[in-house]
Structure 1
Amino acid sequence: MSFHEEKIPVRFGCLPVHETMFTQGELEELFSLINQPVDPTSPGSGSQGSNQAVYSIPERKLRRMQSNRESARRSRWRKKRHVENLTSDLNRLRLENRELKNRLGLTMNYNLLLSTENQCLKSESMSLIVTLLDLYRTLETMISQ
């Protein structure tokens, strides 16, 4: 058996159809085309033609329409999933943004509170320094007398 005549064993039950975007029928048809033995003497083999089945023009149009419909269905499904993912991301980011704004507000309030407390401590420190200087002067006066 040459390379082209080997049949590829396929178990359709294990194929993840939802991941390939092909229907079960399309997968079976594709694998049947792959697994067909190649007859080197047939007019459709090699570079003289393709190994696809010969269909009449109305059958080809019908198959093409069905294929286009299925392709459009898959495209709509992918677009829907993409929009759902974007909506989910948008909601998650809005929630995260709201939480970050809340944290920022709390941090700013805490900063204001600490700044106010810092100003009070600076004022108290200045007041204590002045009192200490007055005490030094008083002490010097007492010592010098």
Structure 2
Amino acid sequence: MASVQNQVSSGSDGDLRYAAFDEKKRKRMISNRESARRSRMKKQQHVDKLIAEMSELQSQNKVVMQKINEATDRFVGVSSENNVLRAQLSELTDRLYSLNSVLHMVEEVSGLAMDIPQLPDTLMEPWQLPCPAQPITTSANMFNF
């Protein structure tokens, strides 16, 4: 009878150990699930934060691209206007040289002394402008985009 009692008591000790082990396992599983849930939440928050940052950077990129496009449009406009002005300068310079040559011919034929100034080549020597320099006026918000 002692051996039967010994087996029963050891069986109940085994059941208690198994129950304690099972309880630890259950607690560990719950803890792991909670940890995984927190990890997923952190990951989702990080992804949301990155998406918001990406959206902000995309909007900033659009603003910068608009400014670049506006500056490019201005540059193209000013460049084409500059080309027109250069063509006009060339045409007017040629006309002035022609008029000066006519005056030289008139001077030679008539014998009258005329004061015909020599024209500097403004494209080769821009510091020798044929007319006085005009002041350039600007405003404080001229370059605001």
| TM-score, normalised by the number of residues in structure 2 | 0.60
SS in structure 2 opposite 1:56?
A: helix
- 2:80 is the alignment partner of 1:130: yes
Distance 1:62 1:107 in 2: 66
Distance 2:22 2:78 in 1: 82
Q: Which runs of 4+ in 1 moved over 3 A?
A: none
Give the equivalent residue in structure 1 for 2:17: 67
Following superposition of structure 1 onto structure 2, how do residues 35-54 of structure 1 map, counting pairs within 5 Å? none
1:57-100 CA-partner distances (Å, limit 9, x unpaired): 10111011001000000001111111111111111111111111
Give the equivalent residue in structure 1 for 2:132: none
Following superposition of structure 1 onto structure 2, how do residues 52-131 of structure 1 map, counting pairs within 5 Å? 56-131=6-81
Q: Percent identity over the alignment? A: 8
| TM-score, normalised by the number of residues in structure 1 | 0.60
Distance 2:83 2:42 in 1: 60
Q: How many residues align?
A: 91
Give the deviation of 1:142 after TM superposition.
1.5
Distance 1:79 1:128 in 2: 72
1:7-44 CA-partner distances (Å, limit 9, x unpaired): xxxxxxxxxxxxxxxxxxxxxxxxxxxxxxxxxxxxxx
**Which protein has the larger Cα radius of gyration, Structure 1 or Structure 2?**
2
Distance 2:94 2:6 in 1: 127
Name the structure, 1 or 2, with higher relative contact order (CA <8 Å, separation 6+): 1
Mind listing any 5+ residue stretches in structure 2 that lack a counterpart?
A: 96-145
